[in-house]
Structure 1
Amino acid sequence: MRVLHIVNDAETGGAQTLIEQLMLARPEGDDAHLLILMGQGALSPRLEAAATSTAYVGMTRRDVVPLRAMRALRRLVAEHGIQVVHSHLQQSDLVNEVTPHGARRVATLHNSLHLAQKPVTRVTWWLAAQASARLDAVVACSNSALGFAAESHYRFGTEHIRVVHNGTRISPVPAPEPSGPPVFVHLGRCVEQKDHPTLFRAFARVLAEHPDARLFCAGHLVDPGNEALTIELETLGIGQAVTLLGSVSDVHALIRTAHAVVFASNHEALPMAGLEALSEGVPVITTDTGDAKLLAVDPQAVVPVRDPEALGRAMNRFVDLPAAERGEWRRRSWELGRTEFDSRGTARRYRELYEELTDGS
């Protein structure tokens, strides 16, 4: 099987991580090529290592008419004899939909709500929805992502969209709980739906009870140069306890330093970073949005959105658990990842879809 994946950029994100996992778990003899619409990013080394070949277009987020991407896609399909073009995220979907490349077209929906804020992005998303009837198959990463298709008026019939949960490689055993003060990790780009303000206000409540606690935040534009985030931290007086790391390439190494991974999102589908946390046995504390609650092993780890008091209370409750009980949370988190979100199962279901579309050729 010769598959070409298309994604917007090579920064840390759920779509990029899914692509990496699918490429790593592909059967021996299969080819998995990669087309990235923009330039190199934090995940480029990992993606390039997993792919049979990688090409960059050099587009920007302001580009609506993707002529350069269309030319690159046609060239790669012809050059490598691609059978399936699998796109991820709306800009990539649009390229897949409108390019006459001759291969089967698959798209995966990673969103749970239409949150396009910039005019160019809104146009791109609308066009992708209107042209979705040209796709041969659409996959939603969760039930909430399936709902997104209906809300966005996808021309591809929602009754034909199948749900396949994302997956990740599961560590052989849960990572041991770190020693020392409580450490929380947050993984997410600097976009409104990740709700860093709620996260910071919740963590301020943690510091009030546990002054030695620390929060590490990673993601595209989540770095010390982000003035909005640094002002928020200074206003709350918690800057000394929060580290903004920006994009990181080794997410698993960062996760293993955490006592828990926390999500403050006000809109989410099924965060890939949460699956990566489970794969290491690191518990997830999350807001109740989309299907994020599937990642929590205890109901008290799920709180309402935009409620910093409730989120801070859940984080404090976790820190105050006896060590043995936190250890049980880690075991159950790892077991949840192993049984529900193993990348081998995800890759197998996608491979079956590719075979179905190409008659097994």
Structure 2
Amino acid sequence: MRVIQIIDSLDAGGAERMAVQIANELYAAGHQSHLCATRKEGLLKKSIHESVGYIFLEKKGRIGIKAMTKLKTYIVKNKIEIIHAHSTSFFTATVIKWWLPSIKLVWHDHYGNAEEVENRKAGTLKKCSRFFNGIISVNELLKDWSIRNLKPSKVVYLRNFVSNTLKQQLLKPLPGSTGKRIVHLANLRPQKDHITLIRAFKEVYKNSPDWNLLLVGLDFQDDYSREIKFKIKDLKLDDHIHLLGSREDTPAILEACDIGVLSSKSEGLPVALLEYGMAGLPVVATDVGACKEVVSDYGAVVPAQNPATLTQAIQEFIENPEESKSMAHSFQQHVMTTFGAAFYIEKLETFYSSL
């Protein structure tokens, strides 16, 4: 098959990681695989396999005729059969579908506010969905929403997966002491609820003052970012909570940490949890989206927006290191078996073929 993944940016977010991983794994499975970034490149560009075809559109404005023409030319030249559009790139893909009606169009829904999906504004999406040949949803809530609200003939739920990543070296030393680091991998967006985690860590710090919290993710320098920084300063945690930003050496950072936390108040199926698993971390996650399904019985799942229960779960891992290691190993095996690339690509190939 000849397939192109379309994503609006290559910043290190969950949807972006999935687009790159799918492109790489399709190539590994013997397909002619391509990837298109429409508006912005980013750290993940370096993760694209050298044999995956790549095009950057530099799209400006809502439609961007010049960029659309560039993409159409690329698709025709490479005889692409399937467009796999991720998240907000559905509009770009729909315009190409208008111009090339015979091409198959799949939209991949990574919507992060699945808990509030009924409030989702879907006017343009609903109109475009008439041109979709299929939809992939990352959890059951999103699948049900698409069936009720959109127009495609096929909707499937495919759980996110994680690829085996090569061992990396840290680009620079990490703050905190070896054996005493908690990591939170998420871009600085409100639905990731860093504030609840910071409040929880304040209590952890009282009991375990030698531990540090590393916040890894893109800083958008907006009001939410400023709120996070103010809360850290207000609680006098400047020396123990560290904002590392978006990093190219994320796998190495996870390997150097000891507990993985996800404190979101809304999620789809977070790739961060799968990456924690591959890194062999014990995990604490909130009960939103597909987090409970991913973690299963191999970690701690707590209510969202509840600092007390988050504190308790983290503290239990700190105080019971042997049990933590055992759970981390079991979780790693669970992720490798259940959320591995081979199983996912087989399901994806079947879905593509059904179109």
Q: Which TM class, normalised by the smaller chain length?
A: 0.7 to 0.9
Equivalent-residue separation in structure 2 for 1:30 and 1:70 (angstroms): 24
Equivalent-residue separation in structure 2 for 1:42 and 1:243 (angstroms): 20
Secondary structure of 1:34's counterpart equals strand
The answer as to whether partners of 1:182 and 1:214 remain within 8 angstroms in 2 is yes
Is 1:138 aligned to 2:124, yes or no?
no
- TM-score by structure 1 length? 0.86
Is 1:216 aligned to 2:217, yes or no?
no
The answer as to whether partners of 1:186 and 1:262 remain within 8 angstroms in 2 is yes
Is 1:311 aligned to 2:310, yes or no?
yes
Secondary structure of 2:265's counterpart equals coil
The answer as to whether partners of 1:69 and 1:95 remain within 8 angstroms in 2 is no
Is 1:40 aligned to 2:41, yes or no?
yes
Is 1:111 aligned to 2:105, yes or no?
no
Amino acid in structure 1 at the alignment position of 2:4: L
Equivalent-residue separation in structure 2 for 1:44 and 1:155 (angstroms): 33
The answer as to whether partners of 2:3 and 2:82 remain within 8 angstroms in 1 is yes
Amino acid in structure 2 at the alignment position of 1:209: N
Aligned length in residues? 340
Is 1:128 aligned to 2:125, yes or no?
yes
Equivalent-residue separation in structure 2 for 1:249 and 1:171 (angstroms): 12
The answer as to whether partners of 1:170 and 1:337 remain within 8 angstroms in 2 is no
How much does 1:247 deviate?
1.1
Classify 1:204/1:92 alpha carbon distance in 2 versus 1 (closer, same or farther; 3 Å).
same
Secondary structure of 2:163's counterpart equals coil
Amino acid in structure 2 at the alignment position of 1:246: G
The answer as to whether partners of 1:129 and 1:154 remain within 8 angstroms in 2 is yes
The residue that corresponds to 2:5 in the other structure is 5
The answer for unaligned runs of 5 or more in structure 2 is 168-175
- TM-score by structure 2 length? 0.87
The answer for unaligned runs of 5 or more in structure 1 is 117-121
The answer as to whether partners of 1:112 and 1:148 remain within 8 angstroms in 2 is no
Amino acid in structure 2 at the alignment position of 1:32: S
Is 1:161 aligned to 2:155, yes or no?
yes
Is 1:95 aligned to 2:85, yes or no?
no
Equivalent-residue separation in structure 1 for 2:40 and 2:322 (angstroms): 46
How much does 1:70 deviate?
2.5
- Percent identity of the aligned residues? 24
Say what the alpha-carbon RMSD is for the aligned residues: 2.8
Amino acid in structure 1 at the alignment position of 2:146: A
Amino acid in structure 2 at the alignment position of 1:230: K
How much does 1:308 deviate?
1.2
Secondary structure of 1:32's counterpart equals strand
**Cα-to-partner distance string for 1:239-276 (whole Å, 9 max, x where unaligned):** 21111111112321111112121111101011011111
The residue that corresponds to 1:240 in the other structure is 239
**Cα-to-partner distance string for 1:87-121 (whole Å, 9 max, x where unaligned):** 101x21121123223421111111253699xxxxx
Equivalent-residue separation in structure 2 for 1:224 and 1:59 (angstroms): 23
1:327 to 304, 311, 325: 325
The answer as to whether partners of 1:113 and 1:148 remain within 8 angstroms in 2 is no
How much does 1:134 deviate?
0.8
